[in-house]
Amino acid sequence: MSVLDSKVPKGPLKTKWTDYKNHIDLVNPANKRNIDIIVVGTGLAGGSAAATLAELGYNVKTFCYQDSPRRAHSIAAQGGINAAKNYQGDGDSTYRLFYDTVKGGDYRSREANVYRLAEVSANIIDQCVAQGVPFARDYGGLLDNRSFGGVLVSRTFYAKGQTGQQLLLGAYSAMNRQIARGKITPFNRHEMLDVVKVDGKARGIIARNLVTGEIERHSAHAVVIASGGYGNVYFLSTNAMGSNVTASWKIHKKGAFFANPCYTQIHPTCIPRSGDYQSKLTLMSESLRNDGRIWVPKNLDDVMAIREGKKKPTELSEDERDYYLERRYPAFGNLVPRDVASRAAKERCDAGYGVNATGEAVYLDFAAAIKRYGIEQAKIHNITNASADKIYDLGAAIVKAKYGNLFQMYEKIVDQDPYKTPMMIYPAVHYTMGGVWVDYNLMTTIPGCYAIGEANFSDHGANRLGASALMQGLADGYFVLPYTIGDYLSHDIRTGKIPTDTPEFDAAEKEVTDRINFFINNKGEHSVDYYHKKLGKIMWDECGMSRNAEGLKKAIEEISALRKDFWKNVNVPGTTTEYNEQLAKAGRVADFLELGELFAKDALVREESAGGHFREEHQTEDGEAKRLKEFQFVSAWEYKGEPKDAVLHKEELVYENIEVKERSYK
Catalytic residues: 338
Rounded Cα–Cα distance for residues 455 and 372 (Å): 41
Q: Which residues pair with 192 in a beta bridge?
A: 207
Contacts of 4 (CB under 8 A, 6+ apart): 257, 437, 439, 445, 654
Beta carbons of 268 and 336 less than 8 angstroms apart: no
Rounded Cα–Cα distance for residues 130 and 474 (Å): 14
Q: What is the DSSP letter of 527?
A: -
Q: Which residues pair with 224 in a beta bridge?
A: 39, 450
> Which amino acid makes up residue 413?
I
Beta carbons of 302 and 311 less than 8 angstroms apart: yes
Q: Which residues pair with 64 in a beta bridge?
A: 188
Rounded Cα–Cα distance for residues 272 and 382 (Å): 41
Contacts of 326 (CB under 8 A, 6+ apart): 293, 333, 334
Report the b/e string of 136-166 with b at 16+ CB within 10 A. Answer: beeeeeeebbbbbbbbebbbbbbbbbbbbbb
Nearest in space to 136 (alpha carbons), one of 401, 381, 468:
401
State whether residue 238 is helix, strand or coil: coil
Contacts of 3 (CB under 8 A, 6+ apart): none
Burial, 183: exposed, middle or buried (Cβ in 10 Å; 0-12, 13-18, 19+)? buried
State whether residue 563 is helix, strand or coil: helix
Helix residue ranges per DSSP H, 209-337: 246-253, 300-307, 324-328
Compute φ and ψ for 318, nearest 5 degrees: -60, -40
Report the b/e string of 57-75 with b at 16+ CB within 10 A. Answer: bbbbbbbbbbeebbbbbbb
Nearest in space to 293 (alpha carbons), one of 425, 412, 154:
425
Rounded Cα–Cα distance for residues 350 and 613 (Å): 16
Q: Regarding beta strands 36-40 and 222-225, do their DSSP bridges make them parallel or antiparallel, or are they unpaired?
A: parallel
Nearest in space to 145 (alpha carbons), one of 163, 166, 170, 167:
163
Rounded Cα–Cα distance for residues 365 and 140 (Å): 30
Cβ atoms < 10 Å from Cβ of 619: 13
Contacts of 486 (CB under 8 A, 6+ apart): 24, 25, 26, 27
Q: Regarding beta strands 362-365 and 81-82, do their DSSP bridges make them parallel or antiparallel, or are they unpaired?
A: unpaired
Sign of CA dihedral 264, 608, 151, 404: positive
State whether residue 137 is helix, strand or coil: strand
Sign of CA dihedral 226, 228, 233, 236: negative
